[in-house]
Structure 1
Amino acid sequence: MLFGLAIALRLRSVSSRTQLMTTPARRSSRFQAREATAVLKVGEKRKRTLSDDEVEYPSQAEAPIGGPGGTKALKKTRLPEPTTYVIPDVLKKETTFKGRLGYACLNTILRNKKPAKDAVFCSRTCRLDTIKKNGIDYVKDLGRKNVEDLLTMIQWNEDNHIKFMRMSSEMFPFASHAVYGYSLDYCAPLLASVGELAKKLGHRLTAHPGQYTQLGSPKPEVVVASVRELEYHCEMMDRMGLGVDSVMIVHGGGMYDDKTATLLRVKKTITEVLSPSARARLVLENDEMCYNAADLLPLCEELDVPLVFDYHHDALFPSSIPPSEIIKRANAIWARRGIKPKQHLSEQRPGAVTLMERRAHADRCESLPVDLPDDMDLMIEAKDKEQAVLQLYRMYGLCAVNHESLRPPDENQTTATKGRKSSKKQTKNTQGGEEDE
């Protein structure tokens, strides 16, 4: 008899638990949460149970409502916790410099906004397979969104006293492609609005086409592709209505085993192939591997093409001419052309030893160069982008700084060298890499 009673009680207990598990109205939100699963995208898809501290429980206002048994509770989105940044003091320094400081292509604060859909940046792109699958209108929409975000970046710069910026070369993906290239006419009104805003605020916008822009290549198809790339950048700037200060910077390129012959091909491309409007915006820059400032200066003076002097590149591949003399001669070209001179500044990463390591840019710059003219636009080519500019503002008292726009530097930057550690000697055909965006 006792055995039969025990069996009856056991069946009743199982029945009660089964009802609890199948009746939504009687399940607690905590019980539901413990049963929730999530997909982890690490290696392959796996499922795991969410712990209590990973689940947002519905508030009383979001309790199940509706017909018999109620409905499933609404999912609540967890808002990001406000972050408090500890900003270290900087070493105060003095300078007579009165020019503009700028950064290249990407704003770290805007790019890292959460959620990801709110991120602001101008380098949305895709693969060729995506164009083949989704059509050219898809890639054009990416370009339109990039331009819209450029307006936001310009306004952020204005609010933070930065009036100089390099635009991303991926503003319009594949616009210069031989097969899938397209006109920017579809985006003309939006591009015009960028130029109007930049002009209104007194901002300078420049561009730096990538390392595959080889004006001196011995392969005609490479030269043709390089010219298309420059013409695309020129069209973008022209449609923005930007003035002569908005230049396109390229390196000398590879040497192809004969530097003299390559420079002659560069000259021919500039004088015989480039359109007048593209040539009017063209500027050459010394690099750290193939062409130092002394290599390019005679060609620049002959063709009246301005030379951008890069301090970091000159330190790695110095000229026989001292920087002060190079800058003087280069500035004479800028003056003849009626263009505001500009230079590039970056520093090697702490701990860098080999040339490949030393080429990598540090997160920030610790000082302005000794030979820097007082009236010069200086592009800061540092990993921390706008933060590197703001730090120099604080160090030298150049501009007021909004504290809420500051972020602390990477604590590991002084010990971690991200440069490549290859010990292989560079060949004569090595092409110096373009500054990262």
Structure 2
Amino acid sequence: MEGLSTYRLGYVAQSLTLGVSASHTCRLATATPRRLEALAAQNLEELEQLLRFNAEHGIQVFRIGSSLIPFGSHPVNTLPWWKTFEGTFATLAHIARRSRQRLSLHPSPAGASLSSRHQRVRDAAIAELRYSARVLDMLEAGPECRVVIHVGGAAPSRPEALDAAHRVLDALPEDLRQRLTIEHDDKVWSAREVLPLAREHGVPMVGDNLHNAVLPSEPPMSVAELVREAAATWRALDLRPKFHLASQQEGGRPGAHSDFVDPADLRAMVSALDGPADFMLEAKQKDRAVFALRRDAGARRSPKAQGARAS
């Protein structure tokens, strides 16, 4: 199916084949301007390796690590990195654009909470979103390239937390809104709770099959319904839908990602598609998980495999 452009597969931040991650950082106590600039230069060099590797292997969906520019949203980083590395970003943008790579960032939930009752936490979330959006802008990424964030916690109560998230999104500048996508999670906010938030504010929702299994909606939402409803939030903006795809780690805590993605989990989501879509694999084996799923799909489509099944 991937060869027919029904779906594309991508991975998160690090190529195990190359052994690079473009996510080097340091402790806050050692975050001097000189150290931060050196780390940023190293990360950008590794990002070029990753983008060229993706282009060579036809991988068009990739999540950049949020530490590309270490402490990019923190006051400790006073570097004008967007000026210092302007030429480097232009080179990266050319590679990504030529190979049609869909790029994204996903700040940690701790660093990007919309629902906190504390203004400083909400301000930090906006700063992280602004930094991440700037990275995508510097890479000349299209409108389908987004910053993925979770809603956050539910304190002091679910209604108050949800109201705080609404107020943050209401006040969000349009340029940041156009870089945002919201994801339901596996601990606090279910898909059926996040969907209305996304719809009301005109931002797409990333559907996650494992989150949906670990934290079911009320009433429960099937994988097919999740795919259909989440896809509609992207198509309302004339954008190709994007999903997160993961399999439960055997023996791990609920929601722990396995090394690879079970092909059955991919098939369950693909079977519900009504058009092209992208899947970000959240698997510990990173790019190797992409190659493994491709091999499975190729084996299932091959005449030899079809003949074996018929016999």
- Aligned partner of 1:329 in structure 2 is 229
Report matched runs for 1:12-411 at 5 Å: 98-111=6-19, 120-131=20-31, 135-183=32-80, 184-212=82-110, 213-272=112-171, 274-319=172-217, 320=219, 321-352=221-252, 357-367=253-263, 368-372=266-270, 373=273, 375-397=276-298
**Code of the aligned partner of 1:244:** P
Count of residue pairs brought into register by the alignment: 292
Residues 174 and 181 in structure 1, CA contact (< 8 A), matched pair in contact too: no
Q: Is the 8 A contact 2:2 2:8 kept in 1?
A: no
- Would you say the 8 A contact 1:346–1:381 is kept in 2? yes
**Which deviations, in whole Å up to 9, do the C-alpha atoms of 1:259-314 show, x marking residues without a partner?**
12111111111121x33211111100011110010011111111111010000000
Letter of the structure 2 residue corresponding to residue 302 of structure 1: E
Larger fraction in helix? 2
Structure-2 change in CA distance of 1:351 and 1:121 (3 Å): closer
Residues 114 and 150, structure 2, Cα contact 8 Å, conserved in 1: no
1:329-371 residue CA offsets vs partner (Å, 9 max, x unmatched): 322221121222100111111134xxxx122110001211413
SS of 1:101 mapped into structure 2: strand
Alpha-carbon distance, 1:328 to partner:
2.2
The residue type paired with residue 14 of structure 2 is L
- Determine which structure has more spread, i.e. the larger CA radius of gyration: 1
Cα-Cα RMSD: 2.2
Partner Cα distance (2:241, 2:2) in 1? 22
Q: Which structure exhibits the higher relative contact order, with contacts defined as CA atoms closer than 8 Å and separated by 6 or more residues?
A: 2
On the 8 A contact 2:114/2:164 being kept in 1, the answer is yes
Tell me how far apart the structure 2 counterparts of residues 96 and 156 of structure 1 sit (CA, whole Å): 22
What letter corresponds to residue 288 of structure 1 in structure 2?
D
Equivalents in 2 of 1:94, 1:188: separation in Å?
Answer: 35
Deviation at 1:150, TM superposition (A): 0.7
Gaps of 5+ in 2: 301-311
The answer (yes or no) to whether the contact 1:176–1:182 under 8 Å persists in 2 is: no
- Give the Cα separation in 1 of the matches to 2:30 and 2:2: 52
Q: TM-score under structure 2 normalisation?
A: 0.88
Distance of 1:181 and 1:262 partners within structure 2: 32
1:86 is matched with none
Tell me the secondary structure at the aligned position of residue 7 of structure 2.
coil
Q: Is the 8 A contact 2:224 2:268 kept in 1?
A: no
Contact 2:12/2:64 (8 A) holds in 1: yes
User: What's the offset of the Cα at 1:97?
Assistant: 7.3
**Per-residue deviation, 1:200:** 0.5
- Secondary structure (helix, strand or coil) at the match of 2:133 reads helix
Q: State how far apart, in whole Å, the 2-side matches of 1:188 and 1:97 are.
A: 33
Q: Is the 8 A contact 1:95 1:396 kept in 2?
A: no
Residues 181-236 of structure 1, C-alpha deviation per residue, up to 9 Å, x if partnerless? 44322111111211111111111111111112111100111111111011000111
Partner of 1:28: none
Q: Answer whether contact 2:22 2:44 (CA < 8 A) is retained.
A: yes
Is the CA contact (8 Å cut-off) linking 2:36 and 2:77 kept in structure 1?
no
For 2:62 and 2:187, the matched residues in 1 are separated by 25
* CA deviation after TM superposition for structure 1 residue 96, in Å: 8.0
* Residues 398/182 of structure 1: CA separation in 2 closer, same or farther (3 Å cut): farther
Which SS does the other structure have where 2:269 is aligned?
coil
Distance 2:5 2:59 in 1: 15
Between 336-345 and 386-395, report the one with greater CA deviation. Answer: 336-345
CA distance in 2 between partners of 1:292 and 1:129 (Å): 37
**Cα shift readout 1:99-122 (whole Å, capped 9, x = no counterpart):** 1100000011211xxxxxxxx330
Counterparts of 1:95 and 1:196, CA distance in 2: 24
CA contact (8 A) 1:103 1:166 kept: yes
- Alpha-carbon offset, residue 325 of structure 1: 2.7
**Tell me, what secondary structure is at the counterpart of 1:337?**
coil
User: Would you say the 8 A contact 2:24–2:68 is kept in 1?
Assistant: yes
Q: Find the residue that maps to 1:158 and give its secondary structure.
A: helix
